[in-house]
Chain A
Amino acid sequence: MAILEVNDINVYYGSIHAIKGVSFEVNEGEIISLIGANGAGKTTILQTVSNLLHSKTGSIKFMDEEIHNLPAHKLVPMGLAQVPEGRRVFSQMSVEENLELGAFTRPKANIKEDMEEIFERFPRLKERRRQLAGTLSGGEQQMLAMGRAMMSKPKLLMLDEPSMGLAPILIEEIFDIIKSLNERGTTILLVEQNAQMALSIADRGYVLETGKIVTSADAKTLLNDDVVRKAYLGG
């Protein structure tokens, strides 16, 4: 069953036509990779799904409900969370406060308990729980941004280039966590330039080029596709 259905969206920055009639879907339980070069429009698509940007046409359905006219903050309690590009942690606030904000739409939840769960997954955050998020390293900030999104208990978690700027060993750690989140029931929409890594954990993938989806297939098929290999996997 499709948890997210994006149908024919067109997004503009002023006169720049950044997304040109994109459609895709994410089924419950899947890991979907959206890959594409820098500037292809990956971030624009995620921002549009989160309603921080708006499409001029088409529809976006989350769990069969049209969300494309809702204000952005209403999507979080429905179960849609995003880890934005560049982490965007609240740098003047502590690690704990960032996590609390992740649970903002769940005022009655047992936040302490949920936070401990996040700390189990990211022990490094626990050691730094009272530190300002701005003082964390890039990898730690990525973990915090992920932990923060997980605090909202999303059904669908969208991640925008979680590997960006991280050392290979950290990238592996982050991807392991994404996989284990998925195994525990969270559907994942993963946006990456790092196509190799992204496709290696995905069920299916979409390839985006200058605002259009040019290919979509099983992740395995894409990994072995000649064109894709040439363009995104270094031959």
Chain B
Amino acid sequence: MEATVQQFPPYRETAAPHGHDDHGHHEPNFWSKYIFSTDHKVIGIQYGFMALCFMLFGFFLMLMMRWQIAHPGVPVPVFGPLLEKILGQPAAHGAISPELYNSFGAMHGTIMIFLGVVPLAFAAFGNYVVPLMIGAPDMAFPRINMASFHAFFLGGVVMLVSFFIPGGAAQAGWTSYSPLATTIPTNGQVFWLVGMVLLITSSLLGAVNFIATIIQLRAPGMTWMRLPWFVWAQFVTAFILLLAFPPLEAAGVLQLMDNVAHTSFFLPTGLAVGGQLADRSGGGSPLLWQHLFWFLGHPEVYVLILPAMGIVVEVIANNTRKPIWGYKSLVYSVLFVGFMSFLVWAHHMFLTGMGQKIATFFQATTMIISIPSVIILTCMLLSLWGGSIRINTPMLFALGFLPMFGIGGLTGLPLGLAVCDVYLHDTYYIIAHFHYVVAPGTIFALFAGIYFWFPKMTGRKMNEFWGRVHFWCSFAFMNIVFMPMFVQGIKGMLRRMSDGGINYSAARVPNAIDALPGSVMQLNGVILWAAVCLGIAQIPFIINLFWSISHGEKVGTNPWRATTLDWQTPTPPPHGNFAHEPHVARGPYEYSVPGAAEDFTPQDAPADKTSTAPNAH
């Protein structure tokens, strides 16, 4: 079928007993169509676009930091004068001062996680794809959906504005440990907290909406065990956001009070700042912040990874042309991961002097949670076995995800054991560990998703050749960036040092500390240039993305010949999504069913067409 923007009548229009619909009946103008839209697909694209912009910005901050690490105190080429012009003193002479380095570090983490990956993986893909996959006309609460995006947007604005206030943006890391976060003399932290409260609000509204949608709006016949696994992953993610974020919101409010109303929730008695006793009542507990933060912080990493895994499963099933291996194991694993992710948080705090009983508990839960993660990865790998694999750009990224996530996950295990973690904590090993999961892991999966669903959004494919260039270059440079960090970390190089460890490496105390060898320092240069190349490797992607919207190869509604409902709609799907309410007759991955007319059987194809096929599950 040729891709035309056909306006099918949304399927419930005639039968509507409660005839008011606050949107969509009048001619939509620019504002109601793109800014105040309640259509889940538009909101998904809004999220996606914003998130990609933020990720680009976060990447830029990282480049500045990597320059500073590799060449401490040397003015940044090209961007240095610009930084000085915009930010003034902290970027004097175009070089990055330690304070600015701290700001960039804190904001890089915050932006990448809360304004980049979560909005893209959860909000953008979830919004666009989930209602389509379950056969719903929209989200359960379209206006709350819009409010969620607006809260996200405002939160982003607050975060960005904080760069320009006196003293600059937050400097206490994305983890914002107290008392540091309260004693640094800048209001950046206040902006950070207000921004976070907005972002948390956005996530909560989104989570409520997703869960209600998945529970309530599944099309007839779409039973739980017929849900595409992507939907399961988003479902669990939404629950994690719903229940893990509020304690951080509580902590954020308390820290806000510490910063604005000068309370001492997280400030201990006798706190001295700059050699002077702070004018505080004291009596608070810095560790309490860490507990509340990591109660979100650990589940948050699953928020980063689960939607990505969902995308990978969809892409793999589609491109191996066979049912995903172990659908049920996948479902139970993701439920179990979601549950356990609430009970492992203190493995980030082994060095806070915790006792052995509690440390043992958290080591045990950490080891337990890695089991379902491994099951998920194993199912993905086994799905490749015996498939007639179609290699295209989405599949390349999905395949790239597998070893990258494998490395990231396996290097997490030593961190989960206190004995090793005492040594590795706060070194570059940690940086390497979680970037392997999030950068070449999650972000590769997100790229796979973009290449995969682009034809649904636009009716055109992205350019295949440049997609492959994008993949192979990204794959190579990602590894050159992050692999050396394992080495640096094992050698003892600490994270969050604005001079990249120079001072530390010079501080050779005979018979006590063995300083960092020069080779470790030299790796900083390698990483810098690999990161620059990684940035350049994204240019083909950016051009490809925009170019293909109007010039890509035109394709039909179901170019990948996929089974799930998102591909059984007109392209792009109109407001209301389906021409007729879909009736789901089978499981999500009926590829190459023996005896079937084609090598894929859509979930909503009438049952008699495939009467010879055994029913799924």
The finding on whether chains A and B are genuine partners in a shared complex, rather than unrelated, reads no
